[in-house]
Structure 1
Amino acid sequence: MTNAAQGYFPAYTDALFSFLQDWKQLHPNAGVFAFIAEADIEVVSQLQKSCNQLGITLVGGVFPSVISSDGIHKRGICLINVPEMPPYFLLNQAGLGVAGERIAEQVLNKLEQLQSTDETCTLFLIFDVLIPDIASRLDDLYLKIEDRVNYAGLCAGSETFQPIASVFSNDLQLTKGLLAILWPETHKFIVQHGFSMPNQMLMATSTHGNRITQINWKPAFEAYQELIHQKYDVLLNKDNFYQYAVHYPLGLVRAADQIVVRIPILLDDDGALICSGEIPENAMLTLFQAPPPNPNHFVNELAEEISHTATTTESMHLVFYCAGRKMHMGEGAQTEIDGLYEKSGDKEMLGALTLGEIGTSSVGGQPVFHNMALVVCELSHE
């Protein structure tokens, strides 16, 4: 993503088309990486038409909102232009295959196109949030590819969790699909949520994929309801479920005390909790109270990590911010983004609100599916 130009456009206008024309004149093999707000999903077809007319390779995703230096926008388009689009592929849900073998097969094929580079590629994945087994597919993918690539990514889609065509290229718009891009440089993707480990542990005694039916051998909603009332004096019911669940997410305890956040997003008729991301059976869980709004210490730590990874003084950062985190933080979400923008020293910052985040704890490490996190990536440009 080096030598990238970029821009935020509140709507599809002549200025956007001129932006694409100018980029094509500078770079004959130009590509565009686009983030489009859900409310402007009809823009995808216009952007496809323009890029096809100009001979520009296009890939991108549709998200609940987009982010620019001016704030979080329910409407608009963010464009990241690259001199030459790296290898990429799209797969629909049927084409993902069992245990991720189709994803791994496509990645290995694309890696062959990049044999000339001495650096490890970054595999950037955008899944539709309605794919129910993203965490398992990441585990399977790592078993097949291991540390031949670095891993990062996002979930696209509608904040209503209704089906939309959330990933696209010049000719495709896919519902419940995957967009994968192999960036030929080693980019540092920072993924953080700022949660600390509570003392009380729970057990997911009966689960199926992202559906928890029992916690501590009790019906999941009953146990969750009791815990929230006991610890936080909140009276949770079916009517106010999502209003409060985003403030009291679950934590999945992994090796080395690593915590992966899971937001309960739906409550089914049987009292099971449907989470954004799988929960293994008999997994150890904890109940969080999400961090208070405006936790400046978290922004400071994240900004410091960004500064340590900066490779050039002429750079910008992509920022992907969990939509559930924004719902919890309220106006504090903008404060966190503003703080990162100010401390980064960037001339511009672009990104999107996401419905799940993918990152690793180390370069080349195993990819993990997160909720409530921020993903930050540095881009160098001319």
Structure 2
Amino acid sequence: MTPRYFPAVDPTAVSAWLDELATRSPRPLVFALLPEAEKARVGDLQSGCCERGLDLLGAIFPTLLTEQGFTTSGVTLVSIENSTGHFLVPDLAVQPAYAAERIAWAVGQARGADGHPGPRQLFLVFDSMLPSIASILVKLFNRLKHDFTYAGVNAGSETFQPMPCLFDNQRLLGNGTIGIILDGGTHIAVQHGYPVSKSSMRATSTAGNRIDKIDGQPAMAVYQQVIAAEFGIRLTTDNFYDYAVHYPFGLVGSLEILVRIPVAFNEDGSIFCVGEVPANSMLRLLKAPALENSSCVHTVLRQLGPCADAPLLTFYCAGRRLHFGDEASNELRELQMNSGASAIHGALSLGEISTNGDIGIPEFHNAALVCLR
């Protein structure tokens, strides 16, 4: 897996890189990361890969990340030599069981094409506007079981407005997912490192990613009470967007806490989050850490193992960047310095996916750092 960042979608430079890939045997998969500002260049990438007989999968993200920090220009192209199958599945804005069935069928088709033995990893990129990604992942695990470990991210616009954001050689679409099956040679780490408060609440009424009631009261009223009691903050509708990203909900799972960042609210007191919140689930209030107190990078590097002189493909949650602000670039520099990676390339993501290390179920995160080498 070799990422290459091009500061501009320069036809000469990109064509030369694609020409070099086209001479390899077997030919690698081209995985393209485009920032939203460059979305008009999808057709150029499709034409370039088709002309050379290269398979292409790609996604549009809010911004890219490079060794120099975050950028809204250029393109990152990743040569994936160890993919044993890949796919793009459209039309997933349906019941989670049907969506999972469509993905499982695509996995079967892709996997059946090569018959590669050994452990597999399934890396998924969803359109962030799909309303039931967490449920789709659970249903997908019910179909595929422990055949894979799972990881991935969400693509799309940071405005959370619908936008076609997934593409292959011929198509550009929304409401879908791309999937890349990797052999066991890729190391993946996903972490958020958010500490948990003492508070405990129950989401007594929810609908997808909307929390209507907490402990039988309007969700906003309880959120205001808990954030005042735990952190002394007077939360209002006017300053909601100033504080919500720093004080997200924690969805209590069987073995860990999953971050759910509030992103909007209704006049009736309901709150919308990035990611589903099942009815009657337990919630804790989280406080996003100061960078100097965060152990996230060290935890990621323990999971990844030695990265010296190897490039690191990295996805950084948009909510995490909102919390850290200018210090987000410092966290990326810390990641590169402590990992010894030869380069860091990637994108800003809108939700992240990992595998629960104890029971193997895929989990949907906010505020996480995703690294692949």
Q: Normalization by structure 1: what TM-score?
A: 0.91
CA distance in 1, matches of 2:181, 2:363: 18
Give the residue type in structure 1 aligned to 2:318.
A
Moved more, 322-331 or 299-308: 299-308
- In structure 2, do the counterparts of structure 1 residues 243 and 296 end up closer, same or farther at CA, with 3 Å as the change threshold? closer
Residue 346 of structure 1 deviates from its aligned partner by 1.5
Partners in 2 of 1:82 and 1:360 — Cα distance? 21
Query: Displacement of 1:71 after TM fit?
Result: 1.5
Q: Does 1:204 align with 2:203?
A: yes
**Does residue 64 of structure 2 align to residue 71 of structure 1?**
no
1:333 and 2:328 matched: yes
> In 1, Cα distance between the equivalents of 2:95 and 2:215?
34
1:16 matched to 2:11: no
Q: Which residue of 2 aligns with 1:218?
A: 217
Letter in 1 for 2:235: L
Inter-partner Cα distance in structure 2 for 1:95 and 1:30:
31
- What is the Cα deviation at residue 254 of structure 1? 0.7
1:287 corresponds in structure 2 to 285
Q: Tell me the CA shift for residue 292 of structure 1.
A: 1.1
1:12 offset after TM fit, Å? 0.9
User: Which residue of structure 2 aligns with residue 112 of structure 1?
Assistant: 112
Structure 1, residues 75-131: CA drift from partner, whole Å, max 9, x if none? 22111113476422212235866511111122123222232x332111111011110
Q: Is 2:353 aligned against 1:358?
A: yes
Aligned equivalents of 2:327 and 2:30: distance in 1?
31
Q: Deviations over 1:11-68 (max 9, x none)?
A: 2112122221222234462421111111111111111121112222110111111112
Q: Please list every run of at least 4 consecutive aligned residues from structure 1 whose deviation after the TM superposition is greater than 4 angstroms.
A: 94-98
CA gap of 1:21–1:142, structure 2 versus 1, over 3 A, is same
Q: Is the 8 A contact 2:92 2:130 kept in 1?
A: no
Please say if residues 61 and 347 of structure 2, whose CA atoms lie closer than 8 Å, have aligned partners that are also in contact: yes
1:7 is matched with: 4
Q: Distance in 2 between matches of 1:60 and 1:295?
A: 35
Task: Give the letter aligned to residue 75 of structure 1.
Answer: S
- Unmatched 5+ stretches in structure 1: none
Per the alignment, residue 130 of structure 2 pairs with 131
Q: Which moved more, 1:164-173 or 1:30-39?
A: 30-39
Matches within 5 A, 1:39-118: 39-83=37-81, 86-94=84-92, 98-99=96-97, 100-115=100-115, 117-118=116-117
CA-to-partner distance for each residue in 1:318-360, whole Å, 9 max, x for gaps?
1111010000001221111111111111211111110000001
SS of the residue 2:23 aligns to: helix
Q: Distance in 2 between matches of 1:298 and 1:39?
A: 30
Q: Mean alpha-carbon deviation: is it higher for 178-187 or for 366-375? A: 178-187
* Structure 1 equivalent of residue 275 of structure 2: 277
Maintained 8 Å contact 1:96/1:103? no
Q: 2 CA distance for matches of 1:208 and 1:95? A: 15
1:192 touches 1:302 (CA, 8 Å); kept in 2?
Answer: yes
Displacement, 1:9?
1.2
| C-alpha distance 294-46 of structure 1, shift in aligned 2 (>3 A) | farther
Task: Report if aligned partners of 2:193, 2:295 keep a CA contact under 8 Å in 1.
Answer: no
Give the gaps of 5 or more residues in structure 2: none
Residue identity opposite 2:215 in structure 1 = N
**TM-score (norm. length: structure 2):** 0.93
Cα distance change, pair 216–104 in 1 and its aligned pair in 2 (3 A)? same
Between the aligned partners of 2:94 and 2:20, the Cα distance in structure 1 is: 36
Give 1:184 shift: 2.9
Query: Is the Cα contact below 8 Å between 1:306 and 1:344 reproduced in 2?
Result: no
Aligned residues: percent identity?
Answer: 38
Per-residue Cα deviation, 1:348-374 (whole angstroms, up to 9, x for no partner): 111111000000132881100000111
Distance between the aligned counterparts of 2:267 and 2:114, measured in 1? 49
Contact 1:96/1:102 (<8 A) preserved: no
Aligned residues: CA RMSD = 2.0
Residues 9, 78 of structure 1: 8 Å contact kept = yes
Q: 341, 345, 348: which is aligned to 2:343?
A: 348
Alpha-carbon separation, structure 2, partners of 1:228 and 1:122: 39
Is the Cα–Cα contact under 8 Å of residues 316 and 368 in structure 2 kept in the other structure? yes
Secondary structure of residue in 2 paired with 1:304? helix
CA deviation after TM superposition for structure 1 residue 293, in Å: 2.7
Residue aligning to 1:248: 247
Q: How far did 1:162 drift?
A: 0.5
